[in-house]
Amino acid sequence: MRLYAVVAAGGFRRYATYRVATLAGVFTNTVFGFIMAYTYIALWDERPQLGGYDMSQALTYVWLGQALLMTCAMMGGGFEDELMERIRTGDVAVDLYRPADLQLWWLAGDLGRAAFHLLGRGIVPMVLGALAFDLAMPRSPWTWLAFLVSVGLGVVVSFGVRFLVALSAFWLMDGAGAMQIAWLAGLFFSGMMLPLTLFPGWLGDVARVLPWSSLLQVPADVFLGTYAGWDVLRAYAFQAGWAVVLLLVGRLLQSVATRRVVVQGG
Amino acid sequence: MAEVQVGRVAPVESDTAFAERSRLVEGVRAYGLIVTMWLRSTMAYRASFVMTTVGNFVSTAFDFITIMLMFAHVDMLGGFTLPEVALLYGTSATAFGLADLVLGSMDRLGRRVRDGTLDTLLVRPVPVLAQVAADRFALRRLGRITQGLLVLGYALLTLDIDWSPLKVVMLPLMVLSGAAIFGAVFVAGAAFQFYAQDASEVQSAFTYGGTTMLQYPPTVFAKDLVRGVTFVVPLAFVSWLPALYVLGRDYPLDLPQWVAFLPPVVAAGCWVLAGLVWRVGLRSYRSTGS
């Protein structure tokens, strides 16, 4: 357990090293936040209460999206590039010899990364957004806490998906295609482009039960107070359910890969 | 260093001009050779190439799908109908796609500055800009252009435009000028990375952010934001102003009618500036020494 805590801290520190990159990222998140906020204003001007959100809730949703984009790695950009590269080059053989579990090792590192991105790239755009627009911030500290738990679960679900994508490199060797499909689904079905409550008919129903809704839609709804009282537990159960399923499938795939696939030698 | 300064010492004016032109020709030729090399290497993983091209197409298609989902709830966005928005979208997406295909690899410059591999490019007798631009040339970016052209086609089929010869000429001209303007932004952004090294995302804010913004009508955005992309980073000339002329709609900021014809001029101006910034950036480059 202590080992994984150290790995997580390492993940945090590793991303904290890139200060200029973080600043640049904050700038980009803010620019995109402004662009999206104005398109949402145009939309909600025409249709107030669209998708069950009022104007300030919709704007809050925009900035939550920018704050969680990197945290929940909706466009990828975490450990998966590195793991894929290690599988391609055969370096993964060394990882498999280590006295640590492959999946838990990368999960710990990714949690550290997510924690840094929440602080480093989440807070500043959110504050700037709140200064420029009238946002619907939760008043109760419990809502903030509930939100953080939901974000944590979202990160694990995100990890679960990306771990599967990375493992696909055992069979595909060049996983760029699989990775791209994964980030496309992540961007669209997380609700990053448009809240899933605005997706019409069956598309909306399907989008809401897919794992990606855990990355933004669910945490955002927790933040906006959509779940009354203990209903939050239902949202958690949904996220945790996907997390468990994805981690188990990842575990299965990992054992199949290590048993049946010959690792590339260099 | 790699700037083989043949023309610099030449006493006669015309010699300098000749050297400049041959450097340009040499640059384009080198760009072509490197691109061919990367094309061959891409085709080694053909399945992956097909997947990433389709992915590139689909990923950009999601932008327009989002707009269509918005129009599932409203008839007008900022006073514009879906086909009108499609025209703005199609022109800017195609222009951006072209720039991205030709120069999209420039955002890798920061990495090369960091790990010192830029030095390799400096010692070759080929213009550095050509090498950086062609670095890892990605043909999959055709996916974005295809998507932009499809949306543009949809717009032209559904819109009831009062065509004039001028408007017909305007369309291809604005797409090409727009691509040149975005291209200049790519070059200037890359030059900035000689200083900032790992700040490639700042560039994304102007390139990807710029094209996202241009996909919506200018009426949607705050006046200051529109002023910014008109007078500071002149992205409004990529699609907004010429497209509004084609549509016969009012311009933002009460701009006069003739600004719609400026894109080629603006593009040329942007390239002069980008070229200067690039030279200054390259001259100030100090290797990591590793």
Put simply, whether B195 touches A (Cβ < 8 Å) is no
Predicted confidence band at B17 (pLDDT cuts at 50, 70, 90)?
A: low
Range of lowest pLDDT (A62-66, A127-131, A222-226, B191-195): B191-195
**Alpha carbon distance B247, B231 (integer Å):** 22
Put simply, whether A201 touches B (Cβ < 8 Å) is no
- Report the share of chain B in percent with pLDDT over 90: 41
How far does B86 lie from chain A, in Å, by closest CA? 15
Q: What residues does B77 pair with on adjacent strands?
A: B80
Q: Which of B48, B53, B109 best probes binding to A when mutated, by most A CB atoms within 10 angstroms?
A: B48
Q: Which of A17, A31, A124 best probes binding to B when mutated, by most B CB atoms within 10 angstroms?
A: A31
Q: For residue A111, give both structure tokens.
A: 């949690």
Please tell me the predicted confidence (pLDDT) of residue A196: 94
Please tell me the predicted confidence (pLDDT) of residue A2: 85
Residues 6+ apart with CB under 8 A from A89: A264, A266
Please tell me the predicted confidence (pLDDT) of residue B67: 94
Q: For residue A141, give both structure tokens.
A: 């500290």
Residue B1 has pLDDT above 60, yes or no: no
Put simply, whether B146 touches A (Cβ < 8 Å) is no
Identify the CA nearest to A79 among candidates A94, A97, A92, A66.
Answer: A92
Measured over the CA atoms of residue A117, residue A118, residue A123 and residue A126, the dihedral's sign is positive
Verify whether the Cβ–Cβ distance A180 to B199 is below 8 Å. Answer: no
Please tell me the predicted confidence (pLDDT) of residue B121: 81
**Alpha carbon distance A252, A28 (integer Å):** 38
How far does A251 lie from chain B, in Å, by closest CA? 26
Tell me the Cα Rg of chain B. Answer: 20
Task: Please report the DSSP string for A5-51 in residue order.
Answer: HHHHHHHHHHHHT-HHHHHHHHHHHHHHHHHHHHHHHHHHHHSTTGG
Range of lowest pLDDT (A16-20, A119-123, A161-165): A16-20
Set of chain B residues whose Cβ sits within 8 Å of the Cβ of A69: none
- Name the residue among B50, B66, B199 with its Cβ closest to that of A193: B66
Put simply, whether A181 touches B (Cβ < 8 Å) is yes
Please tell me the predicted confidence (pLDDT) of residue B162: 86
Verify whether the Cβ–Cβ distance A39 to B77 is below 8 Å. Answer: yes
Q: What is the pLDDT of residues A26-67, one digit of tens each?
A: 999 999 999 999 999 999 999 999 989 999 999 999 999 999
Verify whether the Cβ–Cβ distance A31 to B47 is below 8 Å. Answer: no
Please tell me the predicted confidence (pLDDT) of residue B29: 87
- Name the residue among A47, A181, A184 with its Cβ closest to that of B62: A184
Identify the CA nearest to A80 among candidates A193, A7, A178.
Answer: A178
DSSP secondary structure code for residue B233 in this structure: S
Verify whether the Cβ–Cβ distance B74 to A24 is below 8 Å. Answer: no
Q: For residue A114, give both structure tokens.
A: 């997510």
Residues 6+ apart with CB under 8 A from A88: A169, A173, A174, A175, A264
Verify whether the Cβ–Cβ distance A198 to B222 is below 8 Å. Answer: no
DSSP secondary structure code for residue B3 in this structure: -
- Name the residue among B72, B76, B77 with its Cβ closest to that of A200: B72
Please tell me the predicted confidence (pLDDT) of residue A260: 66
> Nearest residue on chain B to A179, judged by CA atoms?
B52
Backbone phi, then psi, for B285, in 5-degree steps? -65, 130
Put simply, whether B47 touches A (Cβ < 8 Å) is yes
Q: What residues does B80 pair with on adjacent strands?
A: B77
| Interaxial angle between packed helices B165-196 and B200-214, expressed in degrees from 0 to 180 and rounded to the nearest 10 | 160
Beta carbons of B169 and B85 less than 8 angstroms apart = no
Identify the CA nearest to A148 among candidates A75, A211, A64, A66.
Answer: A64
How far does A263 lie from chain B, in Å, by closest CA? 19
Identify the CA nearest to A57 among candidates A199, A197, A247.
Answer: A197
Please tell me the predicted confidence (pLDDT) of residue A124: 93
Verify whether the Cβ–Cβ distance B200 to A24 is below 8 Å. Answer: yes
Please tell me the predicted confidence (pLDDT) of residue A215: 94
> Nearest residue on chain A to B73, judged by CA atoms?
A47
Q: Which of A29, A46, A53 best probes binding to B when mutated, by most B CB atoms within 10 angstroms?
A: A46
Verify whether the Cβ–Cβ distance B197 to A177 is below 8 Å. Answer: no
- Name the residue among A24, A47, A187 with its Cβ closest to that of B73: A47
Range of lowest pLDDT (A19-33, A205-219, B83-97, B114-128): B114-128
Residue A54, CB-side half-sphere exposure with 13 Å CA sphere: 7
Predicted confidence band at B2 (pLDDT cuts at 50, 70, 90)?
A: very low
Beta carbons of A59 and A134 less than 8 angstroms apart = yes
Put simply, whether B157 touches A (Cβ < 8 Å) is no
Predicted confidence band at A177 (pLDDT cuts at 50, 70, 90)?
A: confident
Please tell me the predicted confidence (pLDDT) of residue A183: 84
Set of chain B residues whose Cβ sits within 8 Å of the Cβ of A28: 201-202, 204-205, 209
Residue A153 has pLDDT above 90, yes or no: yes
Q: What is the pTM of this model?
A: 0.88
> Nearest residue on chain B to A41, judged by CA atoms?
B220
Please tell me the predicted confidence (pLDDT) of residue B290: 52
Set of chain A residues whose Cβ sits within 8 Å of the Cβ of B75: 46
Task: Give the mean pLDDT of B82-91.
Answer: 95
Q: List, as own/partner pairs, every contact residues B253-261 make where C-beta atoms lie below 8 angstroms and the sequence separation is at least 24, other chains included.
A: B253/B223, B253/B226, B253/B227, B255/B230, B260/B170
